[in-house]
């Protein structure tokens, strides 16, 4: 059937986007919980404006590598909010 390849590509890209959104959502939730636990002011009215659709940390040129470190069944560590920003 003509065009089926494009449909498969869109399905695959949709799955990748879903995975990115899930990953970002999990880590945003962990980051908010950690900030609250450390006593940082997390305003309830600001939280709904956060978006898991950010993707500047994801390479979208088609050459991604997924060599994950052994985290012992845990999550990767969160960035220290008091550390200097690398960006």
Q: What is the pLDDT of residues 11-20, one digit of tens each?
A: 877 888 888 8
CA distance 66 to 49: 29
User: What residue ranges do the domains of the chain occupy?
Assistant: 4-49
What is the four-CA torsion angle of 22, 54, 70, 38, rounded to 10 degrees? -90
pLDDT value of residue 36: 92
Q: What is the pLDDT of residues 26-66, one digit of tens each?
A: 888 998 999 999 999 989 898 888 887 766 666 666 665 66
What does the chain come to in residues?
87
pTM of the model: 0.57
């Amino acid at each position: 059937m003509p065009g089926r390849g494009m449909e498969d590509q869109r399905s695959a890209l949709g799955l990748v986007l879903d995975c990115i959104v899930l990953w970002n959502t999990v880590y945003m939730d962990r980051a908010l919980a950690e900030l609250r636990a450390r006593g940082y002011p997390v305003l309830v009215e600001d939280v709904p404006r956060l978006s898991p659709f950010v993707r500047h940390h994801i390479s979208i040129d088609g050459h991604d590598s997924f060599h994950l470190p052994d985290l012992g069944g845990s999550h990767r560590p969160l960035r220290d909010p008091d550390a200097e920003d690398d960006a």
